[in-house]
Structure 1
Amino acid sequence: MLDRRSLLKMAAGSAALTLIPSTSLLAQTQGKRMAMVFDVRRCTGCLSCSVSCSIENQVPEGRARTRVTQSSMETADGVATLAVPNQCNHCDKPSCVEVCPKNATYKREEDGIVVIDYDKCIHCQRCVKACPYGARRKDPKYKTAPEKCNFCVHRLQQGLLPACVETCIGEARVFGDLNDPNSEVAKLVRDNRVYGMLPDSGNLPSILYIGLPQPSDDKKILKLNHLEWQR
């Protein structure tokens, strides 16, 4: 179990997350550009997102598509303990797409969501290693495709929100089209300091964070074990 001292050591000497200018995020592109904003100030760590996602998508045990870790970090105002969600970042330049030998993983042209064509997938799991966010859950027996968030595309087709967003009791998750200036997600990006994980990867994530104290080390946050909660 992680204790407060070890978590504070995690923050020492860390490199700050990269602030993404809202002008670049809100630059108009063709079609829709679906994204999700996590407001970590509102996340209670209740894990309803993980549970509802697993039920909605019938995810195998131990391969949850969305996870939440708890991170403690020292700030100018003292120690901040935050619940930090993590899942597929639906990158603008996804490395998982580049390594897929069968083009089974691809980015949808109409909305930018990264999905898997299960009929094409050969279960090689190469995409699992290629994802810098650790957001794909490998099948250790290589019999099925990796598990990853797809923003519940089957729900979007029915005009519904992703299951994790609909069940978030703290309203910490906001989903929408960045190309729609009137969408809640676009307004959040416009009115807040927005951060992206692992800017050096070149993946350009569509999962964005607000409310993270600085400095915060994204690499170490992503490596935290989601099962080791500080209680």
Structure 2
Amino acid sequence: MSCSRRNFLLGSGAVIFTTGVATTALANGKKLIATETDGLIRYGMVHDETLCIGCTACTDACREVNKVPEGVTRLKIKRSEPIGDFPKASYTFERISCQHCDNAPCIHVCPTQAAYRDPKTGIVDVKADRCVGCGYCLAACPYQVRFFNPETKVADKCDFCRKTNLTQGKKPACVESCPTKALTFGDLNDPNSDINKIIQTHTVYRMKVELGTEPKMYKVPNNKGEILG
């Protein structure tokens, strides 16, 4: 896919558009809002913010399993400002990582097709041998979760442990390491999968869906603070 000037400007515009107040879209979990009937696998994830305790075991496991160098990360857990007053103050925790968009801006702007969506899994990934380090994908990502790997010198990001745990029949390292089971991973196209059971029975939201990115990272909102819609 060629990287036209128009496509790059559109990608950059997405970044500019989303630097203000973060927006979300709430969805009724009783609908299978994610399922397609094309017969393919579409891996996605749910982060249950009501269960996350901010321990960062997921980030440590991700770094160890995927050999992520110090100074960069594929996954962050962002802690909120204190909610309430001491000694009853509490916090909420947000997962920040690749959303594995079905309509990913990073793919559209890549001039060498290094950024791509794996047709067998729906995972958005990077072909290291094609990456020229132009940085277009980093600029176009509205979630700002891509980075340059200081060792490989190419664009890097979460790949749901596609090259590590998934090849061994395991779940992503973050899912396996979570002590509170706040993360659920599975096939969004399978109506009987655990991930779709969560979507069916909970209110979930996805970030910045107004951009048309179709992210496959769903979140169960906590009951503290405010969800902007």
In structure 2, the gaps of 5 or more residues are 1-20
Where does residue 215 of structure 1 map in the other structure? 226
Aligned residue runs from structure 1 range 132-143, under 5 A:
132-139=142-149
Structure 1: distance between partners of 2:59 and 2:72: 10
Q: Trace 1:33-182 onto structure 2 (pairs within 5 A).
A: 33-72=42-81, 81-139=91-149, 144-154=153-163, 155-182=165-192
Aligned residue number for residue 25 of structure 2: 18
1:35-79 superposed Cα distances (whole Å, 9 cap, x missing partner) = 00000011110111111101111112121100000124879xx98
Distance, in Å, in 2 between the alignment partners of 1:100 and 1:73 is: 40
Shift of residue 82, structure 1, vs aligned partner: 0.7
Once the two structures are superposed, what CA deviation does each residue of 1:54-111 show, in whole Å capped at 9, x if it has no partner? 1111112121100000124879xx9862111110000010000011110001001112
Q: 2:146 touches 2:157 (CA, 8 Å); kept in 1?
A: yes
Whether 1:204 and 2:211 are equivalent positions in the alignment is no
Q: What amino acid sits opposite 1:29 in the alignment?
A: D
CA contact (8 A) 1:59 1:147 kept: no
Contact 1:193-1:210 at 8 Å conserved across structures: yes
Aligned residue for 1:189, secondary structure, equals helix
Hey, what does 1:187 align to over in structure 2? 197
Gaps of 5+ in 1: 1-13, 219-231
Measured in 1, the distance between the counterparts of 2:227 and 2:131 equals 36
Measured in 2, the distance between the counterparts of 1:197 and 1:58 equals 28
Matched residue of 2:46: which SS? strand
Q: TM-score, normalised by structure 1?
A: 0.80
Match of 2:5 in 1: none
Task: Tell me what 2:6 maps to.
Answer: none
* Root-mean-square deviation over aligned CA pairs: 2.4
